[in-house]
Amino acid sequence: MNDAIRPGIGATVLGYPRIGPDRELKHAIEDYWAGRAGRAELEATAARLRHDTWAELAGLDSIPGNTFSYYDQVLDTAVLFGAVPDRYAALGLDDLDTYFALARGNDRVAPLELTKWFDTNYHYLVPELGPDTALRLAGDKPLAEYAEARAAGVETRPVLIGPVTFLRLAKPAPGAPSGFTPLDLLDPLLDAYAELLRRLAAAGAAWVQLDEPAFVTDSSEAELAALRRAYDRLSALPERPGLLVAGYFGDLGEALPVLADTAVEAVALDLVTAPRQVAGAPGLRGKTVVAGVVDGRNVWRTDLDRALSRSATLLGLARDVAVSTSCSLLHVPYDVEAEPDLPETVRPRLAFARQKLDEVAWLQRALLTGRPPGPPRMRPVPDRDGRVRARIAALRPEHRTRVPYAERAAAQQARLRLPDLATTTIGSFPQTREIRRARAAYRDGSLDGAAYTERMREEIARVIRLQEDLGLDVLVHGEPERSDMVQYFAELLDGFAATANGWVQSYGTRCVRPPILHGDVSRPRPMTVPWTVYAQSLTDRPVKGMLTGPVTILAWSFVRDDQPLADTAAQVALALRDEISDLERAGIRIVQVDEPALRELLPPRSAGHAAYLDWSVGAFRLATAGAAAATQIHTHLCYSEFGDVIDAIDGLDADVTTVEAARSHMEILEDLAATGFSRGIGPGVYDIHAPRVPPAPEIRALVDLAAKTVPGPRLWVNPDCGLKTRTYEEVEPALRNMVEAARESRPGSPHQR
């Protein structure tokens, strides 16, 4: 399309939530999986949600399309371009069930690896590519959704993962030859993208958005060269839509001048996270800059005066300036107006996805025509608690230090007397419909406090009996009272507000309601002690107290933006320190403080890693260092690429660290060993995100593999994550097989003679 007739971009967003305001997509997919609904019903729900989204976005000048997904946009890209490993194609399933097999596995095959989407709490499925992967345009999803929108009278801008980011996110397939990298497949992948762009242009698409967030991380010369080659090639196509290349979650750095030097028409920049990144790219003068000045990842109202000023400074640097969100709104809830019970001191400070659309539209009008009527109000300042701040000011280095590990290990073994290859779980047990109904009834007042407590105690007693029957060595109470591992604590801590309908997709059908951390944090009363003490009263085996760590509470909340994260983390850590102290006084011998999000907040570029790891590790140690030597501190880390934080795992100084390892085949253990890590380690021996029950020999093979690196007294045997999302029909046989595998692998067992 000729630039003279191609419409400008104007007010836009880079993406939008897709689960539905009431999680309609989650329920429809899970009904399909359970056989309660057929494909036609699922597709009807999906179509309705797409049309509802287009209607929501009708006030924008440019509407993103192809943002819908049944599970994950990276998986969609892999399927679109034929990157389906043979083991899934060999299942003989139709296209939809093959897609879900890739995502969650089945009784014949494990799913693809799952990991974090940059520094967010969204998870993506990692594509597997080998030299024999025949990349091609194998599907038509972007074309079909563009045509569907156009038939409804809506012109959309199809959104795709960019080709180089897709390859950077992929991993070499098992068995790929040494030296192969997914970037070796760039040319055939560009052929497929070129065909798709030609077909979209023929269908009438004026713009296509290609997301390249991998370039806000450190990039090699080869990766930058691949970026240049990709967009030189795609922008040279004679018949194509305009190309908008989007970078978000940080500073594009050296990738920005590369893009500026190509013939792409527009570049989207995250000016919330990296407001100064345009200074080094004079080539933007001939392009549209899509200014991401409205925060797509947090829920605070935009300072519209500051955002307008930031956008206006670009007018002399670019051909055209369009106002947008910093990233997709996938990461925030739908609508503040759906939250009737938020405190009135907090509500005026908030903007969810629908409110951010209004902010973007206001800013675009103000940029083009001057300030519209009704100047924006100033955001209220959070309340401050002098007692909390005085306590933070009084902290000293010794508040973050325990006695040496060797001394602790001896005291803990004398107290606990655990066997080699001790077995445990990560914390949660299945959340049955009965449990969820009881919690809902308690919240709406139809079940009083005494009846609710009794119902939860019944569930705890059942879980304790089950674990004893299975033969686990260290037990948990199962967390029936917790709907979410962060929200539960947020509702009991001062300084937080909880939403009723603020759902955000984490992965697939897993949705969370991140709490809103709006003020100084303190603990008015014990949070977990009564439940844990009751569970311990039912058994002679040790029961772990279960807490969520300070970094994860921050990572999985919407956090105040008026002070450094390090200060807020220290406040949360002190509240947890008090909870550990109360658990100890109540006789609890093991406390687990989970930090699955430790890597999640890691800055995209390595230059920021040291400062982040200093305060994040320090927050964990502040929470746990008050524990006595004989109290065993556990932590859990999951679904991250651990390489960047491998030294920090040691720095946490936990007595036992459990980690996701089943999908990655124990890769982390050699890395930990290379750092000199010498504390307890529990690599996950089966993947709880897949519905299959792993047989005991399969688990034992992983245990034996781990034992080659970690000696038995330090090696624990556990699943790779909590069991909340699984059913008891899956959990009981899987744990029984796990215990059997551990016993067979212990020194002195008949299998070891």
| Residues annotated catalytic, as ranges | 689
> Does residue 720 contact residue 454 with C-beta atoms inside 8 Å?
no
Q: β-strand 510-512 against 504-507: which pairing, if any?
A: antiparallel
Residue with tokens 């200060």: 567
Gap between the Cα atoms of 740 and 603, Å rounded: 41
Classify residue 206 by its DSSP letter: S
Q: Which residue has the tokens 């940059």?
A: 118
At 6, is the secondary structure helix, strand, or coil? coil
Answer whether 706's CB lies under 8 Å from 659's CB: no
Q: Please, what sign has the CA dihedral across residues 505, 508, 511, 517?
A: negative
Q: Contact, 596 vs 529, CB < 8 A?
A: no
| 42/25 Cα distance (integer angstroms) | 8
Q: How far apart are CA 10 and CA 53, in angstroms?
A: 18
- Token reading at 718: 């556990």
How big, in percent rounded to 5, are the helix, strand and coil portions of the chain? Answer: 45, 15, 40
According to the 3-state scheme, what is the secondary structure of 672-730?
HHHCCCCCEEEEECCCCCCCCCCCHHHHHHHHHHHHCCCCHHHEEEECCCCCCCCCHHH
Question: SS3 of 222, please?
Answer: helix
- The SS3 of residue 591 is strand
Cα 461 from Cα 466, distance rounded (Å): 9
The token pair at 622 is 């502040």
| Residue 409 structure tokens | 């290990």
Return the number of other C-beta atoms located less than 10 Å from residue 673's C-beta: 14
Q: What is the DSSP letter of 383?
A: P
522 - beta bridge partners?
494
The b-or-e profile of 687-719 (16+ CB within 10 A means b, else e) is bbbbbbbbebeebbebbeebbebbeeebbbbbb
Pseudo-torsion of CA 310, 312, 315, 321, nearest 10°?
Answer: 80
One-letter identity of residue 127:
P
- Residue 21 · residue 335 · CB < 8 Å: yes
